[in-house]
Chains A and B, each alone.
Chain A
Amino acid sequence: TQLLEQSPQFLSIQEGENLTVYCNSSSVFSSLQWYRQEPGEGPVLLVTVVTGGEVKKLKRLTFQFGDARKDSSLHITAAQPGDTGLYLCAGADGGSNYKLTFGKGTLLTVNP
């Protein structure tokens, strides 16, 4: 069974600060996705990374896939209250059904 460990589990910061969230596994994933979930809603896809070492930017968010495709990080620059939410990483096993395994999430609170 593939497991994804996310850290930190909780993060509370002030507006304008930078932060990094980590997603680690001992397993290799064919691809990795990051989702954000707001209270009372379903997760929404932010990005998909496929190639080892790949870096993708989405405005103030920077996503990196580890060289060995076992880990990923999400860095947010100058966090804003609108960034508040649960950040989930999800890895695909590359099998015939590409089942997604989710991490347990990082709950981010950005205080104004």
Chain B
Amino acid sequence: QVQLQESGPGLVKPSQTLSLTCTVSGGSISSDDYYWSWIRQPPGKGLEWIGYIYYSGSTYYNPSLESRVTISVGTSKNQFSLRLSSVTAADTAVYFCARRKGYSSSWFDPWGQGTLVTISS
């Protein structure tokens, strides 16, 4: 079955850019039936949708984060990536990648295990 795995630095300095990669296994990221998503969860708080990308490169972002977010896809490596610029302590969170069903349905499944990113000098 499809599995997702996040990777990237666990510590980022304020004002710098957070960069994470999600590797998809057990299925192709080039499927036309899914979007590939990033969702985050600050410690002790709820989930926040960041954005998703279609294999063609079309992107969709949370309006509250859009000015700082870039999601890209690397179909040859079956990966997609997140970049979040000008980070502050408020961006400290567990970052999850997930597959999102598209067209006539809507759900996130499966999810990666998540990776904690701490913003601190």
A and B bind: no
